[in-house]
Amino acid sequence: MNAPLLEVEHLTMRFGGLVAVDDLSFTAMDQRITAIIGPNGAGKTTVFNCLTGFYRPTVGRLTFHGRFGPVLLEREDGFRIPRHGIARTFQNIRLFAHMTALENLVVAQHNHLMRASGYTVLGLFGWKGYRAAERAAIERARYWLDRMGLLARADWDAGSLPYGEQRKLEIARAMCTQPKLLCLDEPAAGLNPRETAELAELLVEIRDREQIGILLIEHDMSMVMRISDQIIVLDYGRKIAEGTPEQIRTDPVVIKAYLGEAEDEELPEEVREDLARLGGGA
Amino acid sequence: MSTVATVGPRATAGGFDLARALKEAGLAAFVAFVLFVPLAGFKLVGQEGQLALEYRPHWVLIGTAAVFVGHLAINFIRAMRGPSQRARGEAGAMARFFTVHARWFGLAAALLAFLLPFTPLGNRYVVDVATTVLIYVMLGWGLNIVVGLAGLLDLGYVAFYAVGAYSYALFAQWFGLGFWEALPIAGVLAAIAGILLGFPVLRLRGDYLAIVTLGFGEIIRVVLLNWYDVTNGPDGISGIPRPTFFGLEFKRYSPDGMTFSQFFGIEYSSLHRVIFLYYLILILALITNWFVLRIRRLPIGRAWEALREDEIACKALGINPTNTKLTAFALGAMFGGFAGSFFATRQGFISPESFTFIESATILAIVVLGGMGSQIGVALAALVIVVLPELGREFEQFRMLLFGAAMVGIMVWRPRGLLAFREPTVRLHGRGQGEEAPR
Amino acid sequence: MLYFLQQLINGLTLGMMYGLIAIGYSMVYGIIGMINFAHGEIYMIGAFISIIAFLLLGVLGVTWIPLALLLVLLIAMAFTAAYGWTVERLAYRPLRGSFRLAPLISAIGMSIFLQNYVQLLQGANVKAVPPIITGGWILAEQDGFAVRISNVQIMIILLTLVLMAIFSWIIANTPLGRAQRACEQDLKMAALCGVNVDRTISLTFVMGAALAAVAGLMATLYYGVVDFFIGFLAGIKAFTAAVLGGIGSIPGAMLGGLLLGLVEAFWSGYFTTEYKDVAAFSILVIVLIFLPTGLLGKPEIEKV
Ligand SMILES: Nc1ncnc2c1ncn2[C@@H]1O[C@H](COP(=O)(O)OP(=O)(O)OP(=O)(O)O)[C@@H](O)[C@H]1O
Ligand SMILES: [Mg+2]
């Protein structure tokens, strides 16, 4: 049951001289929460952008075992990737601010509804099949609104929801695409401790009930340590450690990267490599 | 430059600081003075082939004084009425009222429109003007798909209008097609023109699109002017067949069969055709309205609005941005094409002069003033913009000046248009149920 | 060959004027990321103010051409700059942070407004200006065909080069230039660092308008006719030049202007004049599709 869902091999992304992601390899398992952590600017969001087709990787192979079998993500157009079953949220929320919460979730089911409306032609004349499909889409939206506790505010403009609810709505929107892999970019940013705890619970619930994989970028260590099955630590684009929360918690390399020791610079190259190998050997 | 006056202190309710208002009005007046001196103070006049200057110091003084007084007055009104936020709120409430009751307003307006020729008002002149209004309503609704729903700024919409008009004229001339056969062809050709133009440029940034469409509109006009063999250049095409009522012509006698008046056994009147044309465009416009209202609630319509809001999020949801925009562009163009063929058959004569940038700007002004995405707003704006110049020469002269100022003013004051209030395409709770959203 | 040379000279002259207008588009775009559609009208206003200033100086008895020219240049730049400043203040500044289409629509409105404002004040007829700088030089002659360069052309080329030098110096070496470059990188951050963003943007419009005024003056001297509509096409073409050179880049704008001027001159010289505007526009579309960053522009990756 725990097949690999996403295999990232030698992913490198350069912006001019800057190497944002450097030879990164990891595997995310199905029905597991894989967390990507690292200091600011470590290249986490860039990994997401490569996965979801917003950037074309400089080097690397990204195999996703999607809805229609394995697919090489780096060869796909960005807008086709969601069809294989990858959904994402954004670090800086990107909702359709002037559309209602419900509409946001219906738009997420666009491709399916488009087909059901006979590419608009049948829909124009109110074909029965389309109306049924639209009802089903609204039902799914209602389900997710309910799970997120947003049902009463379904007809609000997304932009007028409070911040925490916007974050939730974005997750609901991603779930409405019925993904196999859900990529969340700092979903707890800006939430208070209670909301964060609720979110953690929700993610575990999504993993178990929907049986999907989750890729999670997060700075809130307590949440990461609590719910992740596997953690990958990035620093300056490189993977410096990988393992279970217990392994990562005690990893000296990780601690160093986060706390930033002054001696770091003086470490001889060989020692640093040894340390990295040590950390990455999980 | 009365718009100078819109910039002023954020006066709070009740407090009107006269000294400060005077100082600011003085500054505005000074700027206005500097602006007016060269262009209003002197006029270039031709005298025997030689240019000379005419001096108009009074123009400068009047203009400057007007800015001073206007600035003061606006600040004063603002101070009396409280923050400008409240005025905005009032307009918003009105827009909301119109949109929420859109169905009733729409029905009432449609009913009035259907009865118009039979009311005492319905003389030839009024019906003629009403026909023009409806052409602009239809164009506005068509452009609203592109600008209001999809958020693509198309500054060359008139090009598609021209494609429709010339398609009908040429198909009639070459193949003897009648209006009804040519209408779909004209729409399709305009849509194809939209796709051909849109395909390369729709993936560009929004503002590039604006200038490319602006150029495209100009190019179509230049081609129409210079491609003499086909378009007859500046002389235009005349003798375009007029529409028939299921094959019955609107003439006193017709060599090939019965005429409209003979068939119905009524006395011939040239008014029949005017009224028929009026109903024709009324029906075309209503079809456009039905189409837009309907498609807005379909997946494609929601995708347009979503793209307008955030293209990146759309991509992450699997929406193909290029194709979706292209559809909006093509459908908008199609309605432009339909309106164009109607224009051709109504006038019986077309020339490139009817398809200038001014025309595009007018249609855009209608959409912008009426409210992007608001059907009723667009109809009202078309009415105002067409009827105003009819009321007097002064309006005609100042028409474009007012459009320009109004476009700036509306963007500053109510950027989504006077009557822009968005009604959700789908609701979970009935109106008034669920939690009340903050406004 | 000689014919080629002649078209080259004509094209360079034309290109210098396009370049001067294009700089205005490019600078504004660089800083606030919008296309100032009204910029073409600013150029037209510059042309009108130049003529009026010439006539006025004539009335006042300033007839020594170099002095008159210098004064006209200064007057036109100053008053046109005032128009540029006002346009920004009224139509664009209140819209910063408004929705995406708002500044564009406002700019179109401004453009329509200014066109009709000048038409109402100055009349719709074409103003023919008597030649002010006359004479020229024959560079080469063969089989009865002479390659000429007129004094106006020499003046246009020299003046543009001088202005470009001054201008580049301002951007590279003055506090204003530094503020502009900072705003170009990041408007918010520049504001947080104490750069007066409003003032910098205003001055950018002022500078752009002043350069457009120079182009307007040159057009008056070169073509001898001016009407209220000249800003429309010149605007589209200068924008094309800015895109061709890479919008946001000032040397790019000049380069784009020169290339466009040359293309247009050769097109008119070797093909037909009727479609020369079509040629300019086709270049715009082709560049946008195949080279959206232009020749000297920086690639623009949208951060997600
Ligand atoms: N489009 C781009 N062009 C140039 N550089 C970029 C681009 N996108 C990201 N970068 C750079 O790549 C590096 C990694 O950025 P990224 O956004 O992936 O970091 P992150 O790990 O998500 O950081 P944070 O925790 O702050 O979100 C940064 O130095 C960033 O400036
Ligand atoms: Mg990030």
Mean pLDDT of the region C67-82: 94
Q: Which residues contact B424 (CB under 8 A, 6 or more apart)?
A: A99, A100, A102, A103, A155
Residue B179, classified by CB atoms within 10 Å of its CB into exposed (0-12), middle (13-18) or buried (19+), is: buried
One-letter amino acid of C192: L
Which ligand is the nearest neighbour of the Cα of A44?
1
Q: What percent of chain B has pLDDT over 70?
A: 85
Tell me the shortest Cα–Cα distance from A172 to chain C, in angstroms: 20
Contact criterion met (CB < 8 Å) for B317 and A177: yes
Between A262 and A29, the higher pLDDT residue: A29
Retrieve residue B62's tokens. Answer: 């009047």
Name subunits touching B (3+ CB pairs < 8 A).
A, C
> In this structure, which ligand is nearest to the CA of A47?
1
- Residue C175 CB neighbour total at 10 angstroms: 9
Of the candidates B302, B316, B422, which has its C-beta nearest A98's C-beta?
B422
pLDDT score of B11: 42
- Helix or strand (DSSP H, E) at A215: strand A213-217
Cα(B284)–Cα(B340) distance, rounded to whole angstroms? 12
Between B98 and A44, the higher pLDDT residue: A44
- Counting residues of chain B whose pLDDT is more than 90, the rounded percentage is 25
Does residue A203 carry a pLDDT above 70? yes
Q: Dump pLDDT digits (tens) for B26-37.
A: 999 999 999 999
Nearest to C276 by CA among C286, C261, C291, C290: C261
Which chain B residue has the Cα nearest residue A92?
Answer: B313
Q: Considering only residues B113 and C176, tell me which one the structure prediction assigns the higher pLDDT.
A: C176
Q: How far is the CA of A36 from the centre of ligand 2 (A)?
A: 10
Average pLDDT over every residue of A10-34? 88
CB distance from C114 to chain B under 8 Å?
yes
Q: Do the chains contact at A15 and C301, CB–CB below 8 Å?
A: yes
pLDDT at A282 over 50: no
Residue among B294, B316, B435 whose CB faces A152 most closely: B435
Kindly report, residue by residue over B401-411, the tens digit of the pLDDT: 888 898 898 88
φ, ψ for residue B436, nearest 5 deg: -75, 125
Which chain C residues are closer than 8 Å to B412 by Cβ? 90-91, 94-95, 106
Residue A55 contacts residue A42 (beta carbons within 8 Å): no
Question: For the domain B101-426, what is the CATH code?
Answer: 1.10.3470
Averaged over C197-203, what is the pLDDT? 91
Report whether pLDDT(B256) > 80: no
What is the DSSP secondary structure assignment for residue A262, as one 8-state letter? G
Identify the closest residue of chain B to C292 by CA–CA distance: B204
Distance CA A104, CA A114 (A): 15
Domain ranges, ordered by start, for chain B: 18-82, 101-426
Residues in B touching C260 (Cβ below 8 Å): none
The count of residues in chain A is 282
Joined together, the tokens standing for residue B159 give: 């090009």
Q: How far apart are CA B168 and CA C168, in angstroms?
A: 54
| pLDDT bucket at A266, cuts 50 / 70 / 90 | low
Residue of A nearest to B313 (CA): A94
B254 — phi, psi (to 5°)? -135, 130
Give which of B35, B60, B41, B57 is closest to C55, Cα–Cα: B41
Is pLDDT of A264 > 60?
A: no
Question: Is residue C238 less than 8 Å (CB to CB) from chain B?
Answer: no
Query: How many Cβ atoms are within 10 Å of A86's Cβ, its own excluded?
Result: 30
CA C24/CA C37 separation, integer angstroms = 11
Give the helix ranges, DSSP H, for B145-203.
157-175, 179-201
Distance CA C45, CA C47 (A): 5
Q: Identify the residue whose tokens are 């004569």.
A: B349
Q: How far is residue C23's CA from residue C20's CA, in Å, rounded to a whole number? A: 5
- Select the residue from B428, B433, B436, B439 to test the A interface by mutation, using most A Cβ atoms within 10 A: B428
**Chain A residue nearest residue C302, CA to CA:** A54
Chains that touch A (3 or more CB pairs under 8 A): B, C
Query: How far apart, in whole angstroms, are the C-alpha atoms of residue C42 and residue B423?
Result: 40
A178 is written with which tokens?
A: 């019925």
What span, in angstroms and rounded, lies between the C-alpha atoms of B342 and B329? Answer: 20
CA distance C258 to C262: 6
Contact of B403 with chain C, judged by CB distance below 8 Å, is answered with yes
pLDDT in tens, B366-401: 888 887 778 888 888 888 888 877 776 677 778 888
Q: Tokens 């807005």, residue?
A: B296
Q: Is the pLDDT of residue A127 over 90?
A: no
| Band of residue A268 on the pLDDT scale cut at 50, 70, 90 | low
pLDDT (tens digit per residue) in B141-154: 999 999 988 888 88
Q: Which residues of A touch C301 (CB under 8 A)?
A: 15, 55
Under an 8 A CB cutoff, do B306 and A99 touch?
A: yes
List the 169-198 stretch of C: residues with Cβ below 8 A of B. Answer: none
Residue C286 sits at the vertex; the CA angle it makes with C284 and C292, to the nearest 5 degrees, is 80
Q: Which residue has the higher pLDDT, A58 or B239?
A: A58
Size of interface B-C (CB pairs under 8 A): 188
Ligand 1, CB within 6 Å, residue ranges? A 15, 18, 20, 38, 40-46, 91; C 301, 303
Domains of chain A by start residue, with CATH: 1-85+179-282 (3.40.50.300), 95-178 (no CATH)
Q: What is the arithmetic mean of pLDDT over C167-178?
A: 89
SS (H, E, C) B140-152: HHHHHHHHHHCCC
Give the Cα separation of B248 and B261 in Å (integer).
9
* C115 touches B at CB < 8 Å: yes
The band of B65, judged by pLDDT with boundaries at 50, 70 and 90, is very high
Provide the residue count of chain C. Answer: 304
Look at A49 and C304 and tell me if their CB atoms are within 8 Å. yes
Residue ranges per domain, chain C? 2-290
Q: Is A89 on the interface with C (CB under 8 A)?
A: no
Q: Mapping DSSP to helix (H, G, I), strand (E, B) and coil, where does residue B438 land?
A: coil
Q: Tens digits of per-residue pLDDT, B302-345?
A: 999 999 888 899 999 999 988 899 999 999 999 999 999 999 98
| A79 Cβ under 8 Å from any chain C Cβ | no
What CATH class has C2-290?
mainly alpha
Contact B314 A83 (CB under 8 A): no
Burial label for B229, CB within 10 Å (0-12, 13-18, 19+), is exposed
Helix (H) or strand (E) holding B425: none
Report the separation in Å between the CA atom of B43 and the middle of ligand 1, taken as the mean of its atom positions: 58
Residue B117 has pLDDT above 50, yes or no: yes
pLDDT digits 0-9 by tens, A134-144: 888 899 999 99
Q: Whose CA is nearest to atom 23 of ligand 1?
A: A41
Residue in C closest to B51 by C-alpha: C129
Alpha carbon distance C17, C155 (integer Å): 12
Interface test with C, best of A50, A54, A93, A96 (most C CBs within 10 A): A54
pLDDT at B240 over 80: no
The residues near C253 (Cβ < 8 Å, ≥ 6 apart) are C19, C22, C23, C25, C26, C241, C242, C245, C247
Closest CA to B144 of B418, B336, B339: B336
**Ligand 1 mutation pick, A21, A37, A44, max ligand atoms within 8 A of CB:** A44
- What are A48-86's pLDDT values in tens digits? 999 888 888 888 888 888 888 888 888 888 888 888 989
Residues forming beta bridges with residue C281, ordered by sequence position? none
Atom number in ligand 1 closest to CA A42? 21
Token digits for C278? Answer: 């079509």
Q: Identify the pLDDT of residue B411.
A: 86
Rounded mean pLDDT, C232-257 = 89
Distance A256 CA to ligand 2 centre (A): 20
B316–chain A Cβ distance below 8 A for any pair: yes
Count of CB atoms within 10 A of residue B155's CB? 26
Whether residue B429 and residue A154 make contact (CB cut-off 8 A), yes or no, is yes
Cβ separation C304–A15 shorter than 8 A: no
Secondary structure (3-state) at A39: coil
Sequence-separated (6 or more) residues with CB below 8 Å from residue A157: A97, A98, A99, A100, A101, B437
**Cα-to-centroid distance, A46 and ligand 1 (Å):** 6
Per DSSP, the three-state class of A4 is strand
pLDDT confidence of residue B160: 93
Q: What is the pLDDT of residue A39?
A: 84
Q: Judge whether residue C218 has pLDDT over 90.
A: yes
Contact A133, A116 (CB under 8 A): yes
Q: What is the model's pTM?
A: 0.83
The pLDDT of residue B7 is: 42
Structure token digits, residue B163: 């494609």
- What is the pLDDT confidence band of residue B84, given thresholds at 50, 70 and 90? low
The dihedral formed by the CA atoms of B242, B243, B244 and B246, expressed in degrees to the nearest 10: 160
| pLDDT score for A126 | 72
The answer to whether the Cβ–Cβ distance between B35 and C302 falls below 8 Å is no
Q: What is the mean pLDDT of chain B?
A: 82
A45 touches chain C (CB under 8 A): yes
3-state secondary structure of B175: helix
CA-CA distance, A92 to C19, in Å (whole number)? 39
User: What subunits make at least 3 CB pairs under 8 angstroms with C?
Assistant: A, B
Alpha helices in A117-220 (DSSP H): 121-124, 128-147, 163-175, 193-210
Tokens of C280: 């300019």
Hey, is A59 helix, strand or coil?
strand
When pLDDT is averaged across residues B351-378 and rounded to a whole number, the result is 85
DSSP A180: S
Mean pLDDT of the region C84-109: 89
Q: Please say whether the beta carbons of C107 and C92 come within 8 A.
A: yes
Q: What is the pLDDT of residues B7-30, one digit of tens each?
A: 444 444 456 788 888 998 999 999
pLDDT of A260 strictly over 80? no
Query: How far is it, in rounded angstroms, from Cα B45 to Cα C217?
Result: 19
Q: Which of A10-14, A150-154, C53-57, C97-101 has the lowest mean pLDDT?
A: C97-101
Amino acid at site A245 = P
Residue type at B400? M
β-strands A33-37, A230-235 pairing: parallel
| Residues comprising chain B, all counted | 439
A164 alpha carbon to ligand 1 midpoint, in Å?
Answer: 24
Report whether pLDDT(C152) > 70.
Answer: yes
| Nearest atom of ligand 1 to the alpha carbon of C302 | 1
Three-state SS string across chain C, please? CHHHHHHHHHHHHHHHHHHHHHHHHHHHHHHHCCCCCCHHHHHHHHHHHHHHHHHHHHHHCCCCHHHHHHHHHHHHHHHHHHHHHHHHHHHHHHHCCCCCCHHHHHHHHHHHHHHHHHHHHHCCCCEECCCCCCCEEEEEEECCEEEEEEHHHHHHHHHHHHHHHHHHHHHHHCHHHHHHHHHHHCHHHHHHCCCCHHHHHHHHHHHHHHHHHHHHHHHHHHHCEECCCHHHHHHHHHHHHHHHHCCCCHHHHHHHHHHHHHHHHHHHHHCCCCCHHHHHHHHHHHHHHHCCCCCCCCCCCCCC
pLDDT at C57 over 80: yes
Shortest-distance Cα residue to atom 26 of ligand 1: A40
Contact A155 B316 (CB under 8 A): no
- pLDDT at position C43 over 90: yes
What is the rounded CA–CA span in Å between residue A137 and residue A151? 15
Indicate which residue's Cα is closest to atom 22 of ligand 1.
A45
Considering only CA atoms, which of A267, A270, A276, A272 is closest in space to residue A238? A276
Which residues of B fall within a CB distance of 8 Å from C35? Answer: 207, 210-211
Q: Which of C56, C239, C292 sits opposite B211 (nearest CB)?
A: C239
What are the chain B neighbours of A110 within 8 Å (beta carbons)? 299, 302-303, 306, 317-319
What ipTM did this prediction achieve? 0.87
Give me the pLDDT at residue B78, please. Answer: 78
Indicate which residue's Cα is closest to atom 4 of ligand 1.
A15
What pLDDT does B121 receive? 75
Residue B242 confidence (pLDDT) = 76
Q: Region B127-134: what's the mean pLDDT?
A: 88
- pLDDT classification of C292: cutoffs 50, 70, 90: confident
The mean-pLDDT minimum among A191-205, A218-232, B77-91, C136-150 falls in B77-91
